[in-house]
Amino acid sequence: MMKSLSIVAEGPGRYIHWGVIQISVANLVIIVAMIILFVLALIVPFPSGHDEETDQERRQK
C-alpha cells in the first residue's frame, strides 16, 4: 500500500480552478474532511458515563 501511495505522491498535482481561486485536489479533500469532522463534532453527542439523576442527587447533598 505504501508503494502505491508514493507513486501517487510523485505524480503532478491536479488543480481545480474557480476564477482567481486555484486549489489542489488533495488540499480540497483534506479541507472537506476537516469540515465534515467539525460538523460531526458539533452534532454527535458525547457518550455519558452516568445518569442525569445521579448528578442532581450529588448536587443536592
Q: Where are the beta strands (DSSP E) in 10-55?
A: 15-18, 21-24
One pLDDT digit (tens) per residue for the chain, 61 residues: 555 555 555 667 889 998 999 999 888 999 999 999 999 999 988 776 655 556 556 666 5
Q: What is the structure's pLDDT at 37?
A: 95
Give the pLDDT confidence score for residue 59 in this predicted structure: 65
Write the CB contacts of 44 (distance below 8 Å, at least 6 apart in sequence): none
Q: Which three cell numbers stand for residue 50?
A: 452516568
Cα distance between residue 26 and residue 32, in whole Å: 10
Other Cβ atoms within 10 Å of 34 Cβ, number: 10
pTM score over 0.85: no
What pLDDT was estimated at residue 13? 81
Where are the domains positioned within the chain? 2-45
Strand blocks (E) in the chain: 15-18, 21-24
